[in-house]
Amino acid sequence: MSGGQIAALVFAVILLIPGGCFTVFGIGMLGDPQSYSLGPPLLTIGLLILAVVAFLGWVAFHKRKPPGVP
């Protein structure tokens, strides 16, 4: 693994916690009538963070093509 792949993996793992928390709280607040207005923004932020985590996971585990024959 290259240094960039390791950094992507570390940032993906670190971002899993806030992304998961925003998503869980956003889903939880959708059912509460008093705080319903907070649910959709929290859910949107959480899903955006999890999309970044998915991209960083792809970067971390993407295999490079071997160099071509000269």
Mean pLDDT in consecutive groups of 10 residues from the start of the chain, 70 residues: 87 94 91 83 94 93 76
In a domain, 67, yes or no: no
Q: Output the six-digit token pair for 42.
A: 């929290």
CA 34 to chain centre: 28
In a domain, 23, yes or no: yes
In a domain, 24, yes or no: yes
In a domain, 13, yes or no: yes
- Domains identified in the chain, total number: 1
In a domain, 69, yes or no: no
In a domain, 21, yes or no: yes
Task: Centre a 10 Å sphere on the Cβ of residue 37 and count the other Cβ atoms it contains.
Answer: 8
What whole-number distance in Å separates Cα of residue 7 and Cα of residue 18?
18
Q: Is the pTM of this model over 0.85?
A: no
